[in-house]
Structure formats: structure tokens, C-alpha cells
């Protein structure tokens, strides 16, 4: 196995209004991000990875 790890591409639909809500949320928390710039896409990846981590049982 290479050091790159596994990759997957996921496509999903989301309402435009929900994207705007995400942008407002990121704008609201931006003072706390210490000059880190997050896009809605980055935020969705973080949420999805957190979901997978919680739903995947730990390996023995």
C-alpha cells in the first residue's frame, strides 16, 4: 500500500439556501479560526469525515 492512502469521491445534492447558511456560519466563526480560511466544501468534508469516524467501529 502506498503512503497516499485511499481516496473516494462523493457527489451529493444540497439546497442553495443550505450553502448560504454554511457561508454565514463560516463568516460568523471566522474571528475564531486564527487566520485559517475555510470554504463550505472544506466544512462539508470535515463534517463527513467526523460522521464516518463516529459510524466506523474501531479496529482491534
Indicate the pLDDT class of residue 2, thresholds 50, 70 and 90. low
Number of H helices, E strands in the chain: 2, 0
30 in the Ramachandran plot: left (φ > 0), alpha (ψ -120 to 50) or beta? alpha
Torsion angles phi and psi, residue 32, rounded to 5: -100, 0
Q: pLDDT higher for 21 or 7?
A: 21
Question: So what's the pLDDT on residue 40?
Answer: 92
pLDDT in tens, 17-58: 999 999 999 999 999 988 888 999 999 889 888 988 887 676
pTM for this structure? 0.65
What per-residue confidence (pLDDT) applies to 1?
Answer: 46
Amino acid at each position: 500500500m502506498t503512503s497516499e492512502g485511499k481516496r473516494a469521491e462523493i457527489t451529493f445534492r444540497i439546497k442553495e439556501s443550505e450553502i448560504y447558511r454554511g457561508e454565514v456560519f463560516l463568516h460568523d466563526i471566522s474571528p475564531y479560526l486564527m487566520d485559517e480560511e475555510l470554504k463550505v466544501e472544506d466544512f462539508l468534508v470535515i463534517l463527513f469525515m467526523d460522521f464516518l469516524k463516529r459510524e466506523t467501529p474501531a479496529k482491534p
